Chains A and B, each alone.
Chain A
Amino acid sequence: AQTVTQSQPEMSVQEAETVTLSCTYDTSESDYYLFWYKQPPSRQMILVIRQEAYKQQNATENRFSVNFQKAAKSFSLKISDSQLGDAAMYFCAYRRGGATNKLIFGTGTLLAVQP
Chain B
Amino acid sequence: ETGVTQTPRHLVMGMTNKKSLKCEQHLGHNAMYWYKQSAKKPLELMFVYNFKEQTENNSVPSRFSPECPNSSHLFLHLHTLQPEDSALYLCASSQAGGSIDTQYFGPGTRLTVL
Q: Which residues of A contact B (CB under 8 A)?
A: 4, 9, 33, 35, 37, 42-47, 50, 52, 91, 95, 99, 101-108
Interface: B72 (CB within 8 A): no
Q: What is the count of residue pairs linking A and B with beta-carbon distances less than 8 angstroms?
A: 54
Name B34-67 residues within 8 Å CB distance of A.
Answer: 40-43, 45, 48, 50, 56
Across the two chains, which residue of chain A brings its CB closest to B48? A101
Q: Is the interface of B mostly helix, strand, loop or mixed?
A: loop
Interface residues on B, range: 20 to 34
The answer to whether A52 touches B100, judged by C-beta atoms less than 8 angstroms apart, is: yes
Q: Which residues of A contact B90 (CB under 8 A)?
A: 45
Q: Mark B82-114, 1 if CB is under 8 A from A, else 0.
A: 000000101010101101111111111000000
Q: A44-B2, A47-B102 are in contact. Are A101 and B50 (CB under 8 A)?
A: yes
Q: Mark B4-24, 1 if CB is under 8 A from A, else 0.
A: 000000000000000000000
Q: Which of A43, A102, A107 contacts B48, CB < 8 Å?
A: A102
CA distance A37 to B104 in the complex (A): 10
